[in-house]
Amino acid sequence: MGTSADSKVSKTDSATIVVMGATGAGKSTFINLVSNSKFEVGYGLESCTSEVDVAAPFMLDGKPVTLIDTPGFDDTVKTEAEILRLIAEFLSVTYKQGRTLHGIVFLQRITDTRMGGVARKNFRLFRKLCGDDTLRNVIIATNMWGNVEPALGASREREMAESDLFFKPALEKGAHMVRHDNTIESAHRIIREIIGFPPAPLQIQRETVDQRKPLAETGAGQDLRADLEQQAGQHRAELAGLRSSIQELVESKDARNRGEIQELNDSLRDVQTKLAKVQAEAHNLREEHEASRNEHEEKIRQMTEVMTVRETELRGLQEHAQTQKTQLVQMESALHEAERRAEEATTAAAAAAKQRPPPRPRSRSRGGLCILQ
């Protein structure tokens, strides 16, 4: 795997952090807050992020930091398989270029009244993407605390942390859980903690790059494929039940059943549409379209090159500012030294003047007499 000199510098001297979470969890808001970016922010359940986006780098503790915004697996525009492929391809290309993640921020709304099946499934998929060995580089940040009573929020926080259905398994593997109060100080604390982690590749990066597995055979891909197969099975069973009910009503030859038959046929079409969608998603997960993948990977490579250039420019500006600051300090020090020496010279001159004896009176003679003047 080839890496350029710039990417090696970037890998060691900068930090790359991915921000993940459900749609509406506040990912773009968090990134805008800490990096002064201008990502579009959604305030409902409609997704504003359907692609992987890279924020402008910013300096923290002398290190350039770049945050990566990702769509949630519950995206309202793309399917779970499409989102997984987008994220996996981005992570694979950046890993090939020598850029290893410092960690991931997973945002979780404390306002959620319950973590339903979709949320649990998506977090399970997230865990498969990370891998158990990399969970120690994950911070689960609960947010939106200002929108909930403190006692209720604390109760939900405790439930999520202590339940096997929620975050407990990840926390036991080394993930960290913190509160984010939507202040820049809070965001900096989270980023600062991740910067302290040793960079490590995610499981899906090792699988797709080092082990050359197709997406469907990765841990996350297998988990999603099993879920899609389960959904397809449920839809098939539902279709069988609807067809049986329709057949019974048709065989009864009762005109009064026409309305019910129509309703069942409508339901049948709805379920058929759902089944077709699930089957298409499973097919897309299995299929590797080389042309589209190469095109997407090229876009990602260009994006990561821009990331490196931005980080280099930012570091250059930081070093220039530091040089100017050092020069200013040196000039101020030289000025203080000159003032001190001038003051010492003035003091010495005054002291010397005090120590000189007063001048003796001059005398002159007039007619043999000495007259003092």
CA dihedral (53, 59, 64, 65) positive or negative: negative
At which of 274, 308, 342 does a domain end? 308
In this prediction, residue 354 carries a pLDDT of 75
Domain that holds residue 222: 217-285
In a domain, 29, yes or no: yes
Taking a C-beta distance cutoff of 8 angstroms, is the pair 76, 47 a contact?
Answer: yes
In this prediction, residue 372 carries a pLDDT of 52
More confident residue, 254 or 43: 254
In a domain, 299, yes or no: yes
List the CATH number of the domain containing 101.
3.40.50.300
- Per-residue pLDDT reduced to its tens digit, 304-315: 677 677 666 666
In a domain, 350, yes or no: no
170 and 296 together in one domain? yes
- SS3 per residue for 351-364: HHHHHCCCCCCCEE
Q: Which burial class, exposed, middle or buried, applies to 105 when counting CB atoms under 10 A from its CB (0-12, 13-18, 19+)?
A: buried
276 and 293 together in one domain? no
Binned at pLDDT 50, 70 and 90, residue 76 comes out as confident
Residue 8 confidence (pLDDT) above 50: no
> Nearest-5° angle of CA 25, CA 17, CA 101?
135
Pair of tokens at residue 242: 């609807």
DSSP helix/strand/coil, 371: strand
- Per-residue pLDDT reduced to its tens digit, 23-58: 889 999 999 999 887 765 544 444 445 688 888 889
Other C-beta atoms lying within 10 Å of the C-beta of residue 158:
10
Q: Which burial class, exposed, middle or buried, applies to 222 when counting CB atoms under 10 A from its CB (0-12, 13-18, 19+)?
A: middle
Choice among 46-60, 92-106, 239-253 with the minimum mean pLDDT: 46-60
When divided into structural domains, the chain yields a total of: 2
In a domain, 142, yes or no: yes
Closest CA to 296 of 43, 90, 73, 66: 90
38 and 147 together in one domain? yes
Taking a C-beta distance cutoff of 8 angstroms, is the pair 182, 143 a contact?
Answer: yes
50 and 120 together in one domain? yes
In this prediction, residue 336 carries a pLDDT of 81
- Per-residue pLDDT reduced to its tens digit, 138-148: 999 999 999 99
205 and 276 together in one domain? no
Q: Which burial class, exposed, middle or buried, applies to 27 when counting CB atoms under 10 A from its CB (0-12, 13-18, 19+)?
A: buried
What pTM value is reported for the model? Answer: 0.74
Q: If residue 225 lies in a helix (H) or strand (E), which one and from where to where?
A: helix 219-252
14 and 91 together in one domain? yes
- Per-residue pLDDT reduced to its tens digit, 176-205: 999 999 999 999 999 999 999 999 999 999
At which of 308, 339, 360 does a domain end? 308
232 and 109 together in one domain? no
In this prediction, residue 174 carries a pLDDT of 96
Residues of the chain with pLDDT > 70, as a percent, come to: 80
173 and 47 together in one domain? yes
258 and 299 together in one domain? no
In a domain, 277, yes or no: yes
Mean confidence (pLDDT) of the chain: 84
235 and 208 together in one domain? no
At which of 308, 341, 356 does a domain end? 308
Q: What contacts 35, CB < 8 A, 6 or more positions away?
A: 55, 56, 57, 58, 65, 67
> Nearest-5° angle of CA 53, CA 54, CA 55?
120
